[in-house]
């Protein structure tokens, strides 16, 4: 009798674990940004009751903000935060080089940055991606390279000017795969502040922008670059 009860309890416990795992597996992916709670699967905002310890996939407030570093200048010197920051750039099954973000100078003045992929052993340059300044509203780059794929996703912006760009490159050759149709604030201004954050979750690219005139959240299809969602909260 006791053995029967123990077996039944074990079966009940196992079923509870399976049910719990199934529930966790089906949890929606939430993004926290400013006062927004966004459901990435449903592409809609939700209230705080949707949050639990398992489903917050990105809290943007935990990202590094360049403006929080007082040693960085507002005149473009902040691009030096990327110096010596290297990420391994992988093909699907083999290492092909070291990807670095390097400063771009005009007459010894730092005006932006470029992506350079170099051979790991002899440091030969394999490719350079230097985006057009006017096309992408600046030359400050933040790159995300998910392991297990060949695409690299790059946010392009200027710390002291409105706007942002989004581009996807093939990390093997630096060729552009798509440009994202980023909805712009495009406000006239003199003194200004702009910060952009980027992350890839599953099959979606998330662009979170925090400008002086407002902040926004935009979602793109990682494969095609199609904009799936956009919301701007204006402060001016």
Over residues 182-205, the mean pLDDT reads: 91
User: Confidence class of residue 158 from pLDDT cuts 50, 70 and 90?
Assistant: confident
pLDDT over 90 (residue 37): yes
User: Confidence class of residue 135 from pLDDT cuts 50, 70 and 90?
Assistant: low
> Which of 86, 89, 175 shows the shortest CA–CA distance to 127?
175
User: Confidence class of residue 103 from pLDDT cuts 50, 70 and 90?
Assistant: confident
pLDDT over 50 (residue 20): no
User: Confidence class of residue 131 from pLDDT cuts 50, 70 and 90?
Assistant: confident
Confidence (pLDDT) at 119 = 81
Confidence (pLDDT) at 161 = 85
pLDDT over 50 (residue 79): no
Q: What is the share, in percent, of the chain residues with pLDDT greater than 90?
A: 39
User: Confidence class of residue 102 from pLDDT cuts 50, 70 and 90?
Assistant: confident
Token digits for 178?
């798509």
Cα separations (Å) of 231 from 38, 69, 95, 150, 227? 11, 28, 38, 29, 11
Stated pTM of the model: 0.78
User: Confidence class of residue 144 from pLDDT cuts 50, 70 and 90?
Assistant: confident
pLDDT over 70 (residue 81): no
Contact present, 137 and 164 (Cβ < 8 Å): yes
Cα 197 from Cα 208, distance rounded (Å): 5
Which of 78-87, 112-121, 136-145, 163-172 bottoms out in mean pLDDT, i.e. has the lowest? 78-87
Mean pLDDT in the chain?
78
Q: Tell me the domains of the chain and their CATH numbers.
A: 1-59 (no CATH), 63-83+130-234 (2.40.10.480)
Confidence (pLDDT) at 68 = 60
């Amino acid at each position: 009798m006791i053995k029967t009860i123990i077996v039944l309890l074990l079966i009940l416990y196992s079923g509870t674990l399976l049910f719990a795992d199934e529930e966790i597996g089906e949890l929606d992916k939430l993004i926290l940004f400013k006062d927004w709670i966004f459901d990435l699967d449903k592409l809609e905002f939700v209230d705080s009751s949707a949050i639990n310890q398992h489903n917050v996939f990105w809290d943007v407030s935990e990202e590094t903000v360049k403006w929080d570093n007082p040693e960085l200048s507002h005149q473009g010197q902040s691009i030096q935060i990327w110096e010596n920051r290297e990420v391994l750039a992988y093909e699907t099954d083999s290492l092909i080089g070291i990807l670095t973000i390097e400063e771009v100078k005009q007459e010894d003045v730092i005006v932006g940055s470029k992506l350079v992929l170099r051979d790991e052993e002899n440091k030969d340059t394999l490719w350079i991606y230097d985006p057009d300044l006017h096309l992408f509203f600046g030359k400050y780059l933040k790159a995300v390279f998910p392991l297990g794929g060949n695409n690299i996703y790059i946010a392009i912006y200027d710390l002291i000017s409105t706007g942002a760009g989004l581009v996807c490159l093939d990390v093997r050759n630096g060729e552009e795969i798509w440009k994202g149709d980023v909805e712009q604030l495009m406000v006239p201004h003199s003194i200004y502040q702009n910060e952009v954050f980027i992350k890839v979750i599953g099959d979606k690219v998330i662009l979170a922008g925090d400008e002086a005139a407002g902040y926004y959240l935009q979602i793109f299809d990682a494969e095609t670059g199609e904009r799936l969602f956009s919301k701007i909260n204006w402060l001016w």
